[in-house]
Amino acid sequence: MPLLEAAYLGEFGWPGTVVVRDGIPLADAGSESPLESWSRGVMIKEALPRPVIGAHVQGASGAWYWVDFLWAGAGVIGEADGIGKYGTTDDDVRQAMTAERRRQADLEAAGYVVIRWTWSEPTGQWLRRLRRALGRA
């Protein structure tokens, strides 16, 4: 993260820069949304095993999918679901959700456990599901 480090050095000495300095090693350019970045922060704080950020995973059908978080050894996929990806019209949302259900079924048929969460779900709920899934390995 050279650009991030350079930006930090340019602000060195300002109030709060110690927090920024401590966060730089935790940054990951693979996070594609604020929800993914925030979720990673929660996972780090909760001392969960570090996932691969953004990974290609093959479903039972042979199709390849991009997933937000992957714990390959445990066979767990984490999906931080923002609402925007489903579209804006009722038809877009219906089609996107149908495709998402097929994708998840294909990944589960390949042996993965898929854990999903959104901004609106209480953090403790998805963390419990994630811990339970990670503990099965």
The full set of domain ranges for the chain reads 1-29, 31-134
- As a whole number, mean pLDDT of residues 28-39 equals 75
- Domain 31-134 is in which class? alpha beta
CB 73 within 8 A of CB 51: no
The predicted pLDDT at position 92 comes to 82
Predicted confidence at residue 3, as pLDDT, reads 64
In this prediction, residue 137 carries a pLDDT of 44
Residue 132 has pLDDT above 90, yes or no: yes
Average confidence (pLDDT) over 9-28: 60
Per-residue confidence (pLDDT) for residue 135, from 0 to 100: 92
Angstrom distance (rounded) from CA 33 to CA 10: 25
| 3 state DSSP class of 121 | coil
Q: Which of 31-40, 52-61, 105-114 has the lowest mean pLDDT?
A: 31-40
Strands (E), 51-101: 52-58, 64-71, 76-80
pLDDT (tens digit per residue) in 63-122: 999 999 999 999 999 999 877 666 678 888 888 889 999 999 999 999 999 999 999 999
The answer on pLDDT for 24 being more than 60 is no
